[in-house]
């Protein structure tokens, strides 16, 4: 744990003592995508100071949330992964991501979208009921972030990286948020040039329908 103590006999307070320090849940977010070396975590969180990342990992390891494991051969060194206890935070991160997405607008110049963050965004906004009967593979490019996804009968598999044999490649920018909120239609996004498609273009509207961001909170 970090230095924060609330003096409350409460599960919420105890959880915040474990993962409430700055950057801690973003480290967990990226490790939910998969094991990462220290350098990979640093690259995915470019604004975190190296000493702070080291401190968060140490605290999470001491709390039983994270563990170190040797990198599989032929690699060398160690990587960090979530324990079973750490993976229980998946529902927490999903709920927070879905809740926070409603507050997102257009990204400013200081904000980055990483592949792990894009993977998480797709996971937390996925609507299984809207994906029933749909089958397709996709490569999604949003700025420098590239991920690939498969949707099959209400299930989503998504991971960082390209997929050259995808049924459909989607190149999009900030308009993706408007597509998922329903503020922009797939047809309008393509017609305006905000989205570029390559492959089976008919898969684009049903792909968009599989993801939904709720309306912003009332003022």
What confidence score (pLDDT) does residue 174 get?
81
Judge whether 198 lies within some domain.
yes
| Per-residue model confidence as pLDDT tens digits over 89-124 | 999 999 999 999 988 877 777 888 999 999 999 999
Judge whether 94 lies within some domain.
no
Please compute the mean of the pLDDT values over residues 186-195 and round it to a whole number: 96
Judge whether 218 lies within some domain.
no
Q: Is the pLDDT of residue 3 over 70?
A: no
What confidence score (pLDDT) does residue 34 get?
96
Q: Residue 151 belongs to what domain range? A: 115-209
Predicted TM-score (pTM) of the model is 0.90
Q: Is the pLDDT of residue 199 over 90?
A: yes
Q: E strands along the chain, which residues?
A: 66-70, 78-82, 135-142, 145-152, 155-160, 168-172, 195-199
Residue 26 tokens read as 């973003």
What confidence score (pLDDT) does residue 51 get?
97
Distances in Å between the alpha carbon of 43 and those of 38, 39, 66, 112, 131? 9, 6, 18, 11, 33
Of 5 and 14, the one with more pLDDT:
14
Number of domains in the chain: 2
CATH number for the domain that contains residue 42: 1.10.10.10
Judge whether 93 lies within some domain.
no
Query: At 219, is the pLDDT very low, low, confident or very high (cuts 50, 70, 90)?
Result: low
Judge whether 56 lies within some domain.
yes
What gap in Å lies between CA 56 and CA 91, rounded to an integer? 20
What confidence score (pLDDT) does residue 216 get?
82
First to last CA, the chain: 36
What confidence score (pLDDT) does residue 73 get?
84
CATH number for the domain that contains residue 152: 3.30.1050.10
Angle at 156 between CA 31 and CA 161, to 5 degrees: 55
What confidence score (pLDDT) does residue 90 get?
97
On whether the CB atoms of residues 106 and 130 are closer than 8 A, the answer is no
| Per-residue model confidence as pLDDT tens digits over 64-80 | 999 999 998 888 899 99
């Amino acid at each position: 744990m970090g230095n924060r103590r609330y003096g409350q006999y409460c599960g919420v307070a105890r959880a915040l003592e474990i993962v409430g320090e700055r950057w801690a849940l973003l480290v967990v977010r990226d490790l939910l995508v998969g094991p990462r070396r220290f350098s990979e975590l640093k690259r995915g969180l470019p604004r975190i100071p190296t000493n702070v990342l080291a401190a968060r990992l140490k605290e999470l390891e001491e709390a039983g949330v994270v563990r170190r494991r040797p990198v599989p051969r032929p690699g060398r060194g160690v990587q960090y992964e979530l324990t079973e206890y750490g993976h229980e935070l998946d529902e927490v991160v999903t709920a927070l991501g879905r809740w926070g997405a409603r507050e997102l607008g257009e990204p400013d110049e200081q904000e980055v979208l990483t592949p792990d963050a894009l993977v998480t965004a797709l996971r937390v906004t996925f609507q299984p009921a809207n994906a029933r009967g749909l089958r397709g593979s996709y490569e999604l490019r949003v700025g420098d972030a590239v991920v690939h996804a498969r949707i099959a009968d209400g299930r989503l598999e998504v991971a960082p990286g390209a997929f050259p044999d995808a049924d459909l490649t989607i190149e999009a920018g900030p308009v993706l948020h408007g597509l998922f909120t329903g503020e922009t239609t797939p047809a309008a996004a393509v017609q305006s040039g905000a989205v570029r498609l390559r492959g089976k273009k008919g898969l684009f509207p049903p792909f968009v329908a599989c993801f939904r961001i709720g309306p912003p909170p009332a003022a």
